[in-house]
Amino acid sequence: MEGLASLRTIPNVPFQPISSSTRRSKFLSRRLNLGPSMDSSLRNSITLTSSSSSSSPMFTAIRAQQIESEAGSAAASPGTESEENALKVKEWEVGMFQDEVAATQGIRIRRRPPTGPPLHYVGPFQFRLQNEGNTPRNILEEIVWYKDKEVSQMKERRPLFSLKKDLERAPPARDFLGALKAAYLRTNLPGLIAEVKKASPSRGVLREDFDPVEIAQAYEKGGAACLSVLTDEKFFQGSFENLEKIRNAGVKCPLLCKEFVVDAWQIYYARSKGADAILLIAAVLPDLDIKYMVKICKMVGLTPLVEVHDEKEMDRMLAIEGIELIGINNRNLETFEVDISNTKKLLEGERGQKIREKNVIIVGESGLFTPDDIAYVQEAGVKAVLVGESIVKQSDPTKGITGLFGKDISV
């Protein structure tokens, strides 16, 4: 848990050191148990999860999600204030457990602020978290924390069952991956995913005269195979309305919903708005979430573009079946510096061989401004590139694409 803890032993509660595995088992079984109504299989699974956590992180992750689901169901019925408090405690402790699982996979982005235990927490200690523990470590973490609250509010307004009719009315999903492959075969250059992007946290507003439909049409005219549409409003000034406008305007390029996904609900929502693909970020999502979301994507017809930043994230994603499209972001999440040699580093040696054997399409992302940049990442092994800033800032984005590749790639 992040931050500094001030520990005050509550009177008459003895403190006795115990092993971490025993402590975790007792912690979960005690705090996740709502009382006699708790199903015995759930109680057993908690103990089994705790004792297995050190030897099998994946098993731990699976049981963590099951615990959250089953325990949430047990507490779903209306109750007294004490029951509501118990539920808050449960949610907080499951969140702590999820963060622990994510940490074992090298995930540094925390899904929500470490706010500490809810009011009325009953335990052997009272905790006080300092402010520095609740400060986002970087811009991605700040976005994810905000997105977690935003999606919770959206889900209340639009529960999943209410999206079913919208999914039935949504236009058919188009072949995002097929479009990239076709562009590569046609031009012998990486297929272009051109980004419809008004602003970014690091660069501010990129284009004042921003008309998403006009920009999308210019990209398509210039030879883009697919488009990426920013849908985050707070940090990138994007919207799902922009995505719908582009789709309804008759643009034929398949559309990637460029969103910060923290909940499977967002996948259904993106498809209902006409998206053909969606971004999943390995630095944010544990393996179990990625596996689950990839299956949901394929079920509703979306192509998942899974984004990685370093070797560990790449290795994690290559171990997951069903991933066909991986983006390498050349931007360092800690410093926000960009280095396109990151693409080459992640595609060398045995890792690159494994990528070729699995027939995974690699997308180069960030820091691509010139024909030399495109040639560099293509030689490293990419067959597609995602580019926004260097072309959206051009007065004529169509000509911007020609300048990026050093030649006309239009159909």
Alpha-helical segments (H) within 238-348: 240-248, 265-272, 287-300, 311-318, 341-346
Give 212's contacts (C-beta < 8 A, 6+ positions apart). Answer: 196, 229, 242, 245, 246
Task: Say whether pLDDT at 29 is over 50.
Answer: no
Long-range contacts of 161-167 (CB under 8 A, 24+ apart): 163/268, 163/269, 163/272, 166/272, 167/268, 167/271, 167/272, 167/300
Q: Note the pLDDT of residue 150.
A: 96
Residue 233 DSSP SS3: coil
Question: b/e per residue, 136-174, with b = 16+ CB within 10 A?
Answer: eebebbbbbbebbebbeeeeeeeeeeebeeeeeebeebb
Q: Note the pLDDT of residue 113.
A: 78
Give 302's contacts (C-beta < 8 A, 6+ positions apart). Answer: 173, 267, 270, 271, 275, 276, 277, 278
Q: How far apart are the first and last CA of the chain?
A: 54
The residue that leads in pLDDT, 1 or 193, is 193
Q: Note the pLDDT of residue 401.
A: 98
Q: Note the pLDDT of residue 53.
A: 40
The residue among 86, 151, 75, 74 whose CA lies nearest residue 112 is 151
Spatial separation of the C-alpha atoms in residues 67 and 90, rounded to whole Å: 10
Q: Where are the beta strands (DSSP E) in 139-297?
A: 191-196, 199-200, 204-205, 226-230, 255-258, 277-281
Spatial separation of the C-alpha atoms in residues 370 and 139, rounded to whole Å: 27
Decide: 255 and 217 in contact? Cβ < 8 Å: no
The residue that leads in pLDDT, 148 or 58, is 148
On whether the pTM is more than 0.85, the answer is no
pLDDT band at 353 (very low <50, low <70, confident <90, very high): very high
Spatial separation of the C-alpha atoms in residues 267 and 283, rounded to whole Å: 18
Decide: 289 and 261 in contact? Cβ < 8 Å: no
Q: Note the pLDDT of residue 120.
A: 46
Taking the domains of the chain in order of start, what are their residue ranges?
157-405
Task: Say whether pLDDT at 25 is over 80.
Answer: no
Spatial separation of the C-alpha atoms in residues 211 and 214, rounded to whole Å: 5
For residue 181, with 0-12 CB atoms within 10 Å meaning exposed, 13-18 middle and 19 or more buried, which class applies? middle
Q: Tokens 């092993």 correspond to what residue?
A: 19
Spatial separation of the C-alpha atoms in residues 66 and 73, rounded to whole Å: 11
Digit-coded pLDDT (tens) for 232-277: 999 999 999 999 999 999 999 999 999 999 999 999 999 999 999 9
pLDDT band at 69 (very low <50, low <70, confident <90, very high): very low
Task: Say whether pLDDT at 311 is over 50.
Answer: yes
Give 204's contacts (C-beta < 8 A, 6+ positions apart). Answer: none
Q: Note the pLDDT of residue 8.
A: 35
pLDDT band at 88 (very low <50, low <70, confident <90, very high): low
pLDDT band at 336 (very low <50, low <70, confident <90, very high): confident
Taking residues 61-67, what's their average pLDDT?
Answer: 44
Spatial separation of the C-alpha atoms in residues 176 and 325, rounded to whole Å: 10
Q: Note the pLDDT of residue 356.
A: 95
Q: Note the pLDDT of residue 106.
A: 78
Task: Say whether pLDDT at 16 is over 60.
Answer: no
What is the rounded average pLDDT for all residues in the chain? 80
Where is average pLDDT lowest: 27-36, 99-108, 174-183? Answer: 27-36
Taking residues 288-313, what's their average pLDDT?
Answer: 97
Digit-coded pLDDT (tens) for 177-199: 999 999 999 999 999 999 999 99
Spatial separation of the C-alpha atoms in residues 72 and 42, rounded to whole Å: 11
Catalytic residues: 195, 197, 258, 307, 329, 365-366
Spatial separation of the C-alpha atoms in residues 164 and 300, rounded to whole Å: 11
| Alpha-carbon torsion (117, 119, 120, 125), positive or negative | positive
What CATH number should be reported for the domain whose range is 157-405? 3.20.20.70
Task: Say whether pLDDT at 64 is over 90.
Answer: no
Task: Say whether pLDDT at 43 is over 50.
Answer: no
Q: Tokens 């980004």 correspond to what residue?
A: 195
Spatial separation of the C-alpha atoms in residues 46 and 25, rounded to whole Å: 7
Task: Say whether pLDDT at 61 is over 60.
Answer: no
Taking residues 21-44, what's their average pLDDT?
Answer: 41
Q: Note the pLDDT of residue 165.
A: 87
Decide: 279 and 305 in contact? Cβ < 8 Å: yes
Question: b/e per residue, 351-360, with b = 16+ CB within 10 A?
Answer: ebeebeeeeb
Number of CB atoms found within 10 A of residue 132's CB? 9
Decide: 271 and 301 in contact? Cβ < 8 Å: yes
Q: Give CA 365 to chain center in angstroms.
A: 16
pLDDT band at 108 (very low <50, low <70, confident <90, very high): confident
